[in-house]
């Protein structure tokens, strides 16, 4: 909104005082700070309202170690505060003319709505079952399809035409050397990334602060990728001249680093920054011992946002590094289920894998911090792909 205000008055005397809004670097930092301040300002009252509404309801999952039962009475659905901060900060500082912003918000808030239904059913029925997995998957697919066909596609001659790059970019490989064209099959792959990320974050949200810090680190990493792919920055580079030798030319930052261009990428970085700020504000209350749980309204939404960023930034494969902790949690559940059904044996003492470490005797804070460290390491490897191409 503020950027559109600047665009309206930029040629007037008042517009000169709003000139700083033209820079994405300022707006992404401002979005992060705004989301952080909103979260800290409203957080305590929001949690008090949740506690008053939910009373002494048991918000602890049944399929967890016994020591988790000591957390009974801790309010859930705190992820709604994250969504409020992300939405307000993004609407304030992003260029709302970019369709990718609306798609990112649609997937985030849409998946958050699914999580809200899940949490509400758990609270109203006083059990931890919530929304049936098949219904949850169906709703996730519905929001994905609405986003793709409602925003990324347009109709020409009676048939849909994709307005998205359907080529797959591989880490450590320059885009000018190799791109795997998936065509319409790209939509299925994108669905796996977005829905898979949403459910992976949901599975990870089992310990105090375990999911939110890897989310913050991942969002910060995506902000760098999005800014590189969508900024208007140019760098000087030496290229071969026609008559021999070399000459100095200016090349876009995304081309210099060998990544695909993303229209609106700099604005997506603003969205990423709002997730970072909102996540830090939530961590203030969610750090061990947690005063509030994220709930499915937060975990499904943040997972959908991160999966969406992986697709929109054209870093679908690289996101396996960025979302490494979440991927490991998801794979641990898949391995556990497959092993038990095929052999009758369990690979882990309990899945997701963070519960396995709990049952091995590690303290909750130690597990949490080590997962944070692994998340930072994974995102560091992902950032290396920017230059090693």
Judge whether residue 84 has pLDDT over 90: yes
DSSP element (H, E) containing 45: helix 24-54
Question: Which phi and psi (to 5°) does residue 106 adopt?
Answer: -60, -50
Helix (H, G, I), strand (E, B) or coil at 231: coil
* Residue 73 banded pLDDT, cuts 50, 70, 90: confident
Percent of the chain at pLDDT above 90? Answer: 62
- Range with lowest mean pLDDT among 276-280, 321-325, 348-352: 348-352
DSSP element (H, E) containing 327: helix 324-343
Q: What is the pLDDT of residues 238-294, one digit of tens each?
A: 655 566 666 677 778 888 888 888 889 999 999 999 999 999 999 999 999 999 999
Highest mean pLDDT, choosing among 132-136, 324-328, 383-387: 324-328
Judge whether residue 70 has pLDDT over 90: no
Q: What is the spatial distance between Cα 252 and Cα 236, in angstroms, rounded to a whole number?
A: 9
* Residue 21 banded pLDDT, cuts 50, 70, 90: confident
User: Under 8 Å CB-to-CB from 29, ≥6 apart: which residues?
Assistant: 273
The structure tokens 């590690």 sit at 362
pLDDT at 92: 96
User: How many distinct helices (H) and strands (E) make up the chain?
Assistant: 14, 6
User: Under 8 Å CB-to-CB from 272, ≥6 apart: which residues?
Assistant: 28, 219, 220, 222, 223, 226, 309
Task: Please report, for the chain, the start and end positions of each structural domain, with discontinuous segments joined by +.
Answer: 2-384
């Amino acid at each position: 909104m503020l950027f559109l205000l600047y665009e309206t008055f930029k040629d007037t005397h008042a517009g000169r005082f709003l000139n700083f809004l033209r820079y994405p670097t300022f707006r992404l930092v401002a979005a992060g700070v705004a989301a952080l301040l909103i979260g800290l300002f409203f957080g305590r009252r929001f949690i008090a309202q949740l506690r008053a509404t939910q009373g002494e309801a048991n918000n602890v999952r049944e399929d967890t170690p016994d020591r988790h039962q000591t957390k009974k009475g801790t309010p859930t659905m705190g992820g709604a505060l994250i969504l409020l901060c992300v939405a307000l900060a993004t609407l304030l500082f992003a260029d709302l003319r970019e369709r990718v912003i609306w798609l990112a918000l649609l997937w985030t808030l849409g998946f958050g709505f699914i999580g809200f239904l899940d949490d509400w059913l758990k609270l109203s029925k006083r059990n931890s079952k919530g929304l049936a997995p098949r219904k949850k998957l169906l709703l996730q697919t519905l929001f994905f399809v609405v986003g793709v066909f409602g925003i990324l596609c347009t109709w020409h001659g009676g048939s849909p035409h994709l307005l998205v790059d359907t080529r797959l970019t591989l880490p450590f490989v320059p885009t000018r050397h190799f791109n795997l064209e998936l065509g319409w099959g790209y939509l299925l792959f994108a669905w796996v990334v977005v829905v898979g990320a949403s459910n992976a974050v949901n599975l990870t949200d089992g310990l105090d602060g375990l999911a939110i810090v890897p989310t913050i680190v991942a969002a910060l990493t995506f902000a760098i990728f999005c800014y590189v792919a969508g900024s208007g920055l140019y760098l000087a580079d030496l290229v071969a001249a026609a008559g021999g030798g070399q000459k100095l030319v200016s090349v876009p930052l995304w081309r210099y680093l060998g990544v695909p261009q993303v229209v609106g990428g700099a604005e997506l970085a603003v969205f990423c920054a709002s997730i970072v700020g909102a996540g830090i504000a939530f961590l203030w209350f969610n750090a061990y011992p947690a005063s509030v749980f994220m709930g499915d309204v937060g975990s499904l939404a943040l997972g959908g946002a991160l999966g969406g960023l992986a697709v929109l930034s054209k870093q679908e494969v690289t996101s396996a590094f960025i979302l490494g902790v979440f991927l490991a949690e998801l794979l641990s559940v898949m391995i556990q289920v497959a092993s038990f059904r095929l052999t009758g044996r369990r690979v882990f003492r309990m899945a997701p894998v963070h519960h396995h470490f709990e049952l091995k005797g590690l303290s909750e804070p130690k597990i949490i911090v080590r997962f944070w460290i692994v998340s930072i390491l994974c995102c560091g490897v992902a950032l290396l792909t920017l230059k090693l191409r």
